[in-house]
Each structure stands twice: as C-alpha cells, then as structure tokens.
Amino acid sequence: MSLSVQFFSLLAMIGTGITAGIVLDLFGTIVAGCDKRSFTRRWAFWFECLIWIMLGIMSFWVLMMVRDGAWRMYDPVAQVSGLLLYAAIFHYPVRFVGRLLLLVVLRPIWLIIRLVYLTIQRIFSVIVSILSFITSPFLRLVKNIGKFLQNKCRVLYNRVQ
C-alpha cells in the first residue's frame, strides 16, 4: 500500500469522525428541542445506539471503498481525531450553516406546507358550513315531522287505552 493511499485513507477516517460528530450533534440538538414527554425523548437512548451502529456501518463502508475493508490500528485514532476536530473547529461553522438552512430553506417550506394545509382546512370548513346552512331547513322539517308523528301516536295510543 502506497503512502498516498494510506494518507487518503487517514483523511477518509478523519472525515468519518467529523461526520459522526455532525450527526451526533444534530441528534443531540433534536432531542434537546423535544418535549420531555415526546416519543423521541423517551426513546433517545435507543435511537442513539442505532445511530452509533449506523455510523459504524458507514465507517466500514468507507473502509471498503478506500482500502477494500483493511482495518489499520490508526483508524480508531483517526476517527477520534475527527470527532475532536469537529468539536474544536467545525462545531460553530456547522451550527451556523444549520441555522442558516433552517431559516432560509426549512422554515419557508414548513410555512408553505402549513398555509396549504390551513387553506384546504378552511375550504372544507366553508363547504361544510354551506351544506349545513342548505340542509338546516330540511333537518328542522324532518325533526318537526318526527315530533308531530310522536305526538299523534301518543294521542292515538291514549285513545285506544
């Protein structure tokens, strides 16, 4: 294995460490933003275990792509170095980009989805109101006929007895 391949694989393992830091930081932010009784908060431990397993699979996949799965002793050191590098240098820029994406991309999309939902809900509400207004005289008529027939039956029943 040449020195350039080893250096590239070292950079790839540092990259997986940085990626793991980003994913775990994102998960921690999501859990911190959830309500204490939410499903995500209650099952956070198991979700984090699943995330660690997925990160391990991703790291091995990177090893398969870079070195055909050959594991070296410096790989865990490179991954821990990537985690520490994320915590020391990339934490604030990634958080800034995340907030920027949230404000510029996700919130407008969420606003559009909510507006469409509320518009459809309002249209259905108006349709139901119009239909109830149109059918209310008929419903009152049926109700009054029912009361009339009930009273008529009582009168007839009292006469028979």
- 50-106 residue pLDDT tens: 999 999 899 889 888 887 777 778 888 998 999 999 999 988 998 898 889 888 988
Q: Given this model, what pLDDT does residue 98 score?
A: 84
Q: Given this model, what pLDDT does residue 21 score?
A: 92
Of 100, 107, 86, nearest to 25 by C-alpha is 86
Tell whether the model's pLDDT for residue 118 goes beyond 80. yes
Q: Given this model, what pLDDT does residue 161 score?
A: 66
Tell whether the model's pLDDT for residue 115 goes beyond 90. yes
Which helix (H) or strand (E) segment is 108 a member of?
A: helix 107-160
Tell whether the model's pLDDT for residue 41 goes beyond 90. no
Q: Given this model, what pLDDT does residue 144 score?
A: 84
Q: What is the pTM of this model?
A: 0.64
Do the beta carbons of residue 83 and residue 20 sit within 8 Å? yes
**Residue 158 corresponds to which tokens in the numbers above?**
């009292």
First to last CA, the chain: 110
- Of 64-68, 88-92, 109-113, 151-155, the range with the lowest mean pLDDT is 151-155
